[in-house]
Each structure stands twice: as C-alpha cells, then as structure tokens.
Amino acid sequence: MGKGGDSLSGVEALCAILVEGQPDAGGQVVGMTGSVAVGKTTLAGQIAEHLAPKYTVETVSTDGFLFPNAVLTERGLMMRKGFPETYD
C-alpha cells in the first residue's frame, strides 16, 4: 500500500536492507531497542514472518518475563511497564 496505509512496505524495505547486508557465509544478528510498548516485538515478528520463507529466523523477546497486564494494573504498575519491578 504505502504512505498512510499498510506498514508492510516499510517492513519489506527493512528486510531488503537486512538481506543486502547479509554476509556470504554464516548468519546475522539484528537487535532492536526502544521504549516500552513502541512495537519492537511486533516489528520483529513482521520481519521474521517476511524472511522466514527463505531464511532461518529466530526471535528473542523479554516480553514473556513481564507480569501480565492484569497483574500490573492490580499493582498500579502499568505506567512503569518495562521497569525492573514489572518483571516476573
């Protein structure tokens, strides 16, 4: 789609850059950083889905170590999500 529509075109462009930078032998590790809840895990999933038909892709996320949102809400920690006290 493009501007204002589907972000997949951005994912496709990013994947093209990653593939261009791929060494001839061996693998490649790509890391992402950013604030809490900005879409790092979502973007990593989109990249993995796009590259998986041709490449071996694994994703690692710290999201699974966070308390569930219900627990964070109960403890009044939703606004601190991602800080040490919000990890299980």
Please, are residues 81 and 72 in contact by the beta-carbon 8 Å criterion? yes
Structure confidence by residue, pLDDT tens digits, 52-65:
999 999 999 888 88
pTM: 0.71
As a whole number of angstroms, the distance between CA 88 and CA 86 comes to 7
Give start and end residues of each alpha helix (H) in the chain. 8-20, 40-51, 69-74
The set of residues, in sequence order, having a beta carbon less than 8 Å from that of 19 and lying 6+ positions away, is 51
Tell me: pLDDT of 45 over 90.
Answer: yes
In this prediction, residue 6 has a pLDDT band, given cuts at 50, 70 and 90, of low
